[in-house]
Structure 1
Amino acid sequence: MRRTPSRRLFAAALLVASVLAPMAATPATAVHATGVDRYDKDDCPPDGLGPELTARLDNAIEDVRRQAGIPGVVVGLWMPGKGSYVRATGVADTATRRPMTTDLFMRIGSETKTFTVTALLKLVDDRRIRLDDPISAYIDGVPDGDRITLRHLAEMRSGLFPYSADPDFAHDLLSDPSRSFTPQEVLAYGFKHTNTFAPGENFQYSNSNLVLLGLVIEKVSGLGVADFMHKRVLRPAHLRRTLLPANAEFPEPHAHGYTNQTLSGAIEDSTDWNPSWAWTAGAMISDLSDLRRWAEIVATGTLLRPETQRERLKTLPTGFPGTSYGLGIFETGGWIGHNGSIPGYESVTVYLPSQKATLVLLLNTDVSHEGQEPSTLLARAITGIVTPDNVYDGAVPPR
């Protein structure tokens, strides 16, 4: 069965199985690059998690990578008082066979939402906006905008049709992946559809919500969202290798990304595709070291007032078993954070408060395997070994 691209392109839609062509296995290697060593809050024993547990993780990761056809993956696991596990395995470039390393920049897809909502919540802390303000107070032309609040947008309960699920959008993007889209252009694809439910009535993952929040941030702050995010989120968090690109820029070194979200359904190199269409819903770039730091910051609310963080963590059912969603953040199996996917790349950045553990995954493919995201398969396998009472058992489709 051939998958229609618009069914997967950043939309919460049924995924059809598809596998990358078989690749030669590359043994897992521990790579301690400058990006990882920069982190200055390391209370994990330097000798790792011990030979037995390390071997189990090595084998589990390699099994998933081979079965799902994942070209390369970076894994970072930190468990204070127990140890750490940092590995890069596979290849960053299938043409040259350049190995994956832990210092690579990667596209992080919908993990962008944690940064966008944090920026929005900084404005809440500044008392410049309120979560229960209607979107119509800031942006004109939103269907049912008088009833849809900023809270509804951040918790994916607005009822706005996701522009990235529109067939015309998928065709236009995939016909010219280098094209630059404005926020208004992508929203128009969604706004031509009837809202799917009344505000607050249900959960539906929609990138339209987060693009609107990006516009709110710009309207209220008077700054471009990338500038505001750098000033109020990235710099205070000491994230020096995280950015919201203006176009197809991609700092070196980075991994090549591989996707089958193409008009033909064939796998293509999507490394230099322009992510402008995803903007504040999914266009950001980061690396292992920064995401390690960010996982704890976003889950514990370091940058926010305690009362604002409490609002963020009020998660509601999603309809996906074991997963609830708050304000730009989810909880699954006790892990708090977000996953991400953009053509060619997937990621997971989560934090387990009960053990103060952090897990970061970075993959250079988004090709699903037997209907499941490859990042979910890896996260489930890893947590099943190291935190069997807290298994990452799935998350909202990150598209």
Structure 2
Amino acid sequence: MRQTRWRRAAVGAAAVGLLMVPVGAGVGYAVDAPAPPSASSSAGSTDSEDFPQLTPAVARQLDEAVRKVRDEAKVPGVQVALSAPGKGAYVRAFGVADKATGRPMTDHLFMRIGSETKTFTVTALLELVDEGKVGLDDPIGTYVPGVPNGDRITLRELAGMRSGLFNYSADEDFFKALTSDPQREFTPQELLGYSFKHPVLFAPNAQFNYCNTNLILLGLVVEKVSGQRLADFITKEVVGPAGLKHTLFPVGAEFPKPHAQGYTNQTASGKTEDSAGWNPSWGWAAGAMISDLTDLRKWAKVVATGELLTPATQAERLKVSPALPGTGYGLGIFKVNGWIGHNGSLPGYQSLTLYDPRTQATLVVLLNTDISAEGQEPSTLFGEAITKIVTPEHVYTLPAQPAAGKS
């Protein structure tokens, strides 16, 4: 059970795999229904009247809801930012950043963001699409040799989690390698090796299956086409133009200060450990990045509205296919009851960054544990509790994911 639970977290729980959520679903939640209409149809409309003024009374409601989730899920510390134009802002930090010292959680700490990295990697790819250097319907075999079905799987299918490739972070040998030496540095080629020794799960585009392998391949495409390291390209062409000042793609285990310590039970012993110093290279293009609350509040709108892309390319990004029940997944982004964004999860940390085009509201949640609460990702519980108060007809919720290897 410990290995199964960790592999689910490691996917980045995009709860459509989130991430590992946000942050994974092991080998899979598979959905083979046809794609619904584009999620972009509401992107230009707003209805700020649906979003309440963030008055002291509403803030007290939110305080109570966040504290309740934190207590029940046993989360050490959490940061929350919620805002909408003309409605004010709610920015809070609860609990501790370091259980050993009692150092309080604040709203300006660096945090590991897990699978929210996918939104940056796919944005980098889509910028290359806008420059005419790659095509979404190019086969991955054009850029990376040796990929199973590489002559048939397209870049679009990789970004949309419909490749059929095995998720390397669900592999038993990978789990053993990481937990036996959390400071180990993995190369992209090593990660692909854990995936490619398994048979493909289904034909390209036949189903949805959240898979970190897809993003490793897209990261290699960005490197090959741009001639730059992925970390350098994302820093120069995505992070910088988005105006983000505290977001970085680490090349090793570095973690700027001040940061929160992270707590996970996805360890070789099964005991809870502090994972702040673990090397996130195993997540690379799928989950290695670091950011903070202020930057993610900006990024929520940038990625959901396509500020760095042409309107045509953003429209392609927001064409969603069915993922988990009630959830659509586009190109490195999901839509849940009107909220657009991504979550993230890797050992010790979870995150959630959302934007609501109807109200132009943003919601960011950052916490320093990935330990589930009765089978639910804590980030999902916070998102659900908060949106029940401010957008009760559009509640963010993601169903519990199946165990790895189940469908």
TM-score (normalizing by structure 2):
0.88
What SS class does the counterpart of residue 78 from structure 1 fall into?
Answer: strand
AA aligned opposite 2:184: R
Matched, 1:351 2:364: no
Going from structure 1 to structure 2, the CA distance change for 1:285 and 1:95 (only over 3 Å counts) comes to: same
CA drift of 1:356 comes to 0.2
CA contact (8 A) 1:376 1:394 kept: yes
Aligned partners of 1:317 and 1:7: how far apart in 2? 22
Matched, 1:206 2:219: no
Match of 2:17 in 1: none
Q: How does 1:5-24 map to 2 (within 5 A)?
A: 7-8=7-8, 9-10=10-11, 11-13=24-26
Match of 2:76 in 1: 71
String of CA shifts for 1:76-115, please: whole Å, max 9, x gaps.
0012122210000000000000000011000000000000
Root-mean-square deviation (CA, aligned residues, Å) is 1.9
Match of 1:106 in 2: 111
String of CA shifts for 1:109-165, please: whole Å, max 9, x gaps.
000000000000000000000000000000000001000000000000000000000
Give the stretch that moved more between structures: 280-289 or 227-236.
227-236
AA aligned opposite 1:327: L
1:303 to 300, 308, 319: 308
Q: How does 1:82-97 map to 2 (within 5 A)?
A: 82-97=87-102
Match of 1:340 in 2: 344
Match of 2:32 in 1: none
1:365 to 364, 369, 382: 369
Aligned partners of 2:306 and 2:250: how far apart in 1? 25
CA contact (8 A) 1:72 1:91 kept: yes
- Where do 4+ consecutive residues of structure 1 move more than 3 Å? 1-7, 395-399
Going from structure 1 to structure 2, the CA distance change for 1:174 and 1:287 (only over 3 Å counts) comes to: same
Going from structure 1 to structure 2, the CA distance change for 1:144 and 1:373 (only over 3 Å counts) comes to: same
1:379 to 383, 392, 405: 383
Matched, 1:256 2:248: no
AA aligned opposite 1:390: H
CA contact (8 A) 1:106 1:285 kept: yes
CA drift of 1:210 comes to 0.2
Aligned residue pair count = 368
CA contact (8 A) 2:77 2:96 kept: yes
Match of 1:27 in 2: none
Match of 1:287 in 2: 292
Q: How does 1:15-94 map to 2 (within 5 A)?
A: 49-94=54-99
What SS class does the counterpart of residue 224 from structure 2 fall into?
Answer: helix
Aligned partners of 1:77 and 1:294: how far apart in 2? 13
Identity of aligned residues (%): 64
CA drift of 1:325 comes to 0.1
Going from structure 1 to structure 2, the CA distance change for 1:147 and 1:2 (only over 3 Å counts) comes to: closer
Match of 2:14 in 1: none
CA contact (8 A) 1:74 1:102 kept: yes
Match of 2:128 in 1: 123
Going from structure 1 to structure 2, the CA distance change for 1:111 and 1:84 (only over 3 Å counts) comes to: same
Match of 1:21 in 2: none
CA drift of 1:289 comes to 0.6
CA contact (8 A) 2:320 2:329 kept: yes
CA drift of 1:322 comes to 1.1
Aligned partners of 2:113 and 2:2: how far apart in 1? 26
Aligned partners of 1:247 and 1:115: how far apart in 2? 18
CA drift of 1:14 comes to 9.8
Match of 2:38 in 1: none
CA contact (8 A) 1:73 1:363 kept: yes
Structure 2: unaligned runs, 5 residues or longer: 12-23, 29-47
CA contact (8 A) 1:6 1:166 kept: no
CA contact (8 A) 2:348 2:369 kept: yes
Aligned partners of 1:310 and 1:321: how far apart in 2? 22
CA contact (8 A) 2:159 2:215 kept: yes
String of CA shifts for 1:173-192, please: whole Å, max 9, x gaps.
00000000000001100100
What SS class does the counterpart of residue 244 from structure 2 fall into?
Answer: coil
Match of 2:146 in 1: 141
CA drift of 1:233 comes to 0.7
Match of 1:35 in 2: none
What SS class does the counterpart of residue 97 from structure 2 fall into?
Answer: strand
AA aligned opposite 2:145: D
Going from structure 1 to structure 2, the CA distance change for 1:396 and 1:338 (only over 3 Å counts) comes to: farther
Going from structure 1 to structure 2, the CA distance change for 1:278 and 1:2 (only over 3 Å counts) comes to: closer
AA aligned opposite 1:12: A
Give the stretch that moved more between structures: 229-238 or 133-142.
229-238
AA aligned opposite 1:157: R
CA contact (8 A) 1:91 1:97 kept: yes
What SS class does the counterpart of residue 363 from structure 2 fall into?
Answer: strand
Going from structure 1 to structure 2, the CA distance change for 1:372 and 1:274 (only over 3 Å counts) comes to: same
CA contact (8 A) 1:323 1:395 kept: no
TM-score (normalizing by structure 1):
0.89
Aligned partners of 2:112 and 2:227: how far apart in 1? 27
> Could you say which structure has the greater relative contact order, defined with CA pairs below 8 angstroms and 6 or more residues apart?
2
CA contact (8 A) 1:74 1:362 kept: yes
Match of 2:251 in 1: 246
Structure 1: unaligned runs, 5 residues or longer: 16-42
Aligned partners of 2:355 and 2:2: how far apart in 1? 36
Aligned partners of 1:132 and 1:166: how far apart in 2? 28
CA contact (8 A) 1:339 1:395 kept: no
